[in-house]
């Protein structure tokens, strides 16, 4: 599935040149890149976007000798955005990098640490792919000690309640399958009655980030290492109070249905060191999982990915440990993390601070000759303008349709966009733009300014240097 997705999206890039919470996160198409806004703010009227001509036939695809756009012209776009009256009081950071040469063409406060919103997910995705590889899978297992079966969570939060679907990403592994396999092994051992416990100790520390504002409970679950398909709750505005225990109870019921008598209630306990493995199931590959989380901007999945990274690299699998793991992997990969402050993995925390340049450099590395499978997996997981994910209904009918690939980001007073774009001349550029600190209620205006002043002109640029 991942290979097919990569092939389709890569081909598309080459061919074309590279209600809920504010109507379900405004243009970002919830689930949840936004933090919860207070209902009392004064909503600004939605500005009328400037009409833009649809892309013409001049976009013929990437070419090694495609002309580099004028840095002066591109900087002019960024300057226009920074001074736009639609974003009064905001700080705008823009970095645009020519992928072929690595040259930064635009530095509009690119080194200034700003709140990145969900562009923060790019950092987690790169670090996870780089450290673990796109083929990494999360394992859920059942073990036996004495008369107790323990369900051990390993970071899969897309589990099917019953049978898994090996052709799918969501629901790839099933708790019902795990229970039936465990029941068969128990029967073979002559065991007919057991108690059931849940081991969710892979993750440590708080399950809720103190940097998240009240109200975000609608857009991110308690962070635990096992859940039944967390995406099923993404557009409902409500997550289970204890997703891990819900998964354990689902497993217990399936074990009972498979002919094993389950005594008592499901409780929490770490699996004993000498426990015997009964059965296990594995998630889809990490690259496919990231494609789901990045395209939908799923906060819970990204936080889990950060902790899985931390656990796999020997750090404490907590919010703090995940932030350290991401930062250290970026440093290992040669990125300059000056000014980087990470409170979480998904970008819900306003205290996250990231320079636009760092985000653009990650995109340039991913899209460049040395991006390797890490870069290809990351790019394939990003939404594409007017095609899918949180960009599915954005840039329709403009020159940016199909040529923009990006991670969106939106908080109450921050919008961002981080990805790659192909100019009308066929030049591949990496970029990140962050607009931070506009008045409450100004998100729609800020996003309109970003698109009209920078992104659409950039995609239609035939502005040779």
Catalytic residues: 118, 121, 297
Q: How far apart are CA 417 and CA 359, in angstroms?
A: 10
Q: How far apart are CA 283 and CA 292, in angstroms?
A: 13
Q: Are 412 and 34 in contact (CB under 8 A)?
A: yes
Q: How far apart are CA 59 and CA 110, in angstroms?
A: 28
Q: Are 150 and 199 in contact (CB under 8 A)?
A: yes
Q: Are 432 and 111 in contact (CB under 8 A)?
A: no
Q: How far apart are CA 387 and CA 409, in angstroms?
A: 17
> From the CA atom positions of the chain, what is the Rg in Å?
23
Beta bridge partners of 128: none
Burial class (CB within 10 angstroms; exposed 0-12, middle 13-18, buried 19+) of 146 = exposed
Q: Are 155 and 253 in contact (CB under 8 A)?
A: no
Q: Are 429 and 465 in contact (CB under 8 A)?
A: no
Q: Are 432 and 403 in contact (CB under 8 A)?
A: no
Q: How many helices (H) and strands (E) does the chain have?
A: 12, 15
């Amino acid at each position: 599935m991942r290979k097919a997705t990569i092939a389709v999206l890569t081909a598309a890039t080459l061919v074309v040149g590279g209600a809920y919470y504010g109507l379900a996160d405004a243009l970002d198409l919830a689930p949840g890149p936004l933090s919860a806004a207070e209902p009392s703010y004064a909503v600004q009227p939605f500005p009328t976007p400037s009409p833009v001509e649809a892309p013409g036939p001049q976009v013929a695809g990437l070419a090694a000798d495609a002309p580099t756009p004028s840095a002066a012209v591109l900087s002019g776009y960024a300057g226009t955005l920074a001074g736009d009256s639609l974003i009064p009081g905001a700080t705008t950071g823009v970095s645009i990098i020519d992928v072929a040469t690595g040259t930064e063409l635009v530095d509009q406060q690119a080194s200034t640490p700003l709140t990145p919103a969900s562009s923060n997910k790019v950092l987690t995705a790169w670090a996870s792919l780089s450290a673990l590889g796109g083929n990494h899978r999360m394992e859920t297992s059942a073990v036996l000690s004495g008369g107790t079966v323990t369900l051990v969570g390993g970071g899969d939060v897309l589990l099917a309640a019953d049978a898994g679907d090996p052709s799918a990403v969501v629901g790839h592994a099933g708790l019902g399958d795990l229970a039936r396999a465990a029941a068969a092994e128990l029967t073979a051992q002559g065991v007919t009655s057991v108690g059931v416990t849940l081991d969710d100790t892979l993750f440590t520390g708080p399950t809720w980030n103190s940097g998240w504002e009240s109200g975000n409970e609608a857009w991110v679950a308690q962070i635990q290492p096992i859940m039944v398909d967390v995406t099923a709750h993404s557009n409902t505005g409500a997550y289970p109070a204890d997703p891990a225990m819900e998964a354990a109870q689902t497993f217990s019921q399936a074990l009972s249905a498979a002919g094993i008598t389950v005594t008592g209630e499901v409780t929490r306990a770490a699996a004993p060191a000498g426990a015997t493995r009964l059965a296990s199931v594995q998630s889809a590959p990490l690259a496919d999982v990231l494609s789901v989380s990045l395209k939908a901007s799923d906060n819970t999945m990204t936080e889990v990915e950060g902790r899985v990274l931390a656990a796999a690299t020997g750090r404490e699998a907590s919010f703090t440990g995940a932030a350290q793991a991401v930062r250290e992997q970026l440093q290992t990969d040669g990125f300059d993390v000056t000014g980087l402050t990470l409170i979480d993995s998904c970008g819900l925390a306003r205290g996250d601070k990231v320079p636009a340049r760092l985000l653009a450099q990650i995109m340039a590395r991913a899209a460049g000759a040395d991006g390797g499978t890490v870069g290809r997996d990351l790019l394939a997981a990003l939404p594409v303008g007017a095609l899918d994910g949180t960009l599915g209904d954005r840039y329709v009918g403009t020159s940016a349709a199909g040529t923009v690939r990006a991670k969106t980001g939106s908080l109450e007073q921050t919008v961002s966009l981080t990805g790659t774009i192909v100019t009308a001349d066929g030049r591949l550029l990496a970029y990140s733009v962050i607009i931070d600190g506009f008045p409450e209620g100004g998100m729609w205006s800020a996003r309109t300014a970003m698109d009209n002043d920078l992104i659409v002109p950039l995609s239609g640029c035939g502005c040779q240097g």
